Amino acid sequence: AQTVTQSQPEMSVQEAETVTLSCTYDTSESDYYLFWYKQPPSRQMILVIRQEAYKQQNATENRFSVNFQKAAKSFSLKISDSQLGDAAMYFCAYRSPRGAGGTSYGKLTFGQGTILTVHP
Amino acid sequence: DTGVSQNPRHKITKRGQNVTFRCDPISEHNRLYWYRQTLGQGPEFLTYFQNEAQLEKSRLLSDRFSAERPKGSFSTLEIQRTEQGDSAMYLCAGGLGETQYFGPGTRLLVL
């Protein structure tokens, strides 16, 4: 079974600075997807960024970028020019390419989350 | 806004009662997932629908849990004979392409 580990329960950053959140995962699959989701307090979980394992190029979305190291099974999220609105719980997630019976169902396996605090 | 809505947003019930939650994805979401999230943890997969067919169920989904997706549109998750351990946030997600879009969740408290 796939596992996702976020080793940083909490992180903090000054407004306008850069912060990196870590994520490692374990899988025997070669083709899969990785995601970072953001969950603000008492609010909806929002997709931040996704990465396809077959792509060597790291994904970027405005101030958010990832460092995807497939061999090391590492998938970190870098937030540049941090803003107060970035404060949230961040989850790393692995999309399983196959489910029971060998059919692709795409369920997500999540890490434990990292609480990001942004200081003004 | 992901377009996925869930009702109710909060539910308080007494142990032993039955509860039902509803999820309304957007019409493009032919895939629908239910997850459970306890405080301070990441969501855990419960079950998956492809249109109206329930194709995968987690071992977390005990016999007291049942889910349906009639006509492949909205979905319901029912918990019978609730236990205090069922207290959690229940999240629904609609699948579009390779990505899942989450609703706001239903927070259940079992007293």
Model confidence pLDDT, tens digit, residues B4-35: 999 999 999 999 999 999 999 988 888 999 99
Looking at the predicted structure, is the pLDDT value of residue A99 above 60? no
Q: What was the pLDDT predicted at B98?
A: 83
- Mean pLDDT of the A98-120 span: 82
pLDDT at residue B97 in the model: 80
Whether A104 has a pLDDT exceeding 80, the answer reads no
The C-alpha atoms of residue A93 and residue A111 are separated, in whole angstroms, by: 6
pLDDT digits (tens, 9 = 90+) for A23-46: 999 988 888 999 999 999 878 899
**Distance to chain A for B32, nearest Cα, Å:** 10
* Residues pairing with B73 in the sheet: none
Question: Is any Cβ of chain A less than 8 angstroms from the Cβ of B83?
Answer: no
Beta strands A88-95; A108-110: pairing state: antiparallel
Put simply, the answer to whether A107 touches B33 (Cβ < 8 Å) is: yes
- Separation of alpha carbons A64 and A6, rounded Å: 18
Quick one: which of A19, A32, A13, A95 has its CA closest to A63? A19
Looking from the CA of A62 toward its CB, the CA atoms found within 13 Å total 5
Query: Which positions in chain B touch A108 (Cβ < 8 Å)?
Result: 33, 35, 43, 45, 93, 100
Per-residue pLDDT reduced to its tens digit, A67-90: 999 999 999 999 999 999 999 999
The closest of A110, A86, A76 to A96, measured between CA atoms, is: A110
Sign of CA dihedral A113, A115, B1, B6: positive
Identify from A45, A51, A89 which residue to disrupt to test chain B contact, counting B C-beta atoms within 10 A and taking the largest count.
A45
Contact between B35 and A108 using a beta-carbon 8 Å cutoff: yes
Q: Test B40 with A113 for CB contact under 8 angstroms.
A: yes
Q: What is the pLDDT of residue A105?
A: 78
Residue B13 to chain A, least CA–CA distance (Å):
20
- Rounded distance, CA B74 to CA B24, Å? 5
pLDDT beyond 60 at B64: yes
Cβ-based contacts of B31 with chain A (< 8 Å):
105-106
What per-residue confidence (pLDDT) applies to A98? Answer: 58
Task: Indicate if the pLDDT at residue A114 is higher than 70.
Answer: yes
**What does the mean pLDDT of chain B come to?**
93
Q: What is the pLDDT of residue B30?
A: 86
Q: Which of A61, A108, A112 to mutate to test the interface with B (most CBs of B within 10 A)?
A: A108
User: Considering only CB atoms, which residues of chain A are within 8 Å of chain B?
Assistant: 4, 33, 35, 37, 43-47, 50, 52, 91, 93, 95, 99-100, 103, 105-113
What percentage of residues in chain A have a pLDDT greater than 90?
77
Please report, rounded to a whole number, the percentage of residues in chain B having pLDDT higher than 70.
100
Distance CA A70, CA B71 (A): 40
Please calculate the CA angle A7-A10-A14 and round it to the nearest 5 degrees: 125
Spatial contact of B2 and B99, defined as CB atoms under 8 Å apart: no
Tally of residues, chain B: 111
Cross-chain residue pair B2–A33, CB shorter than 8 Å? no
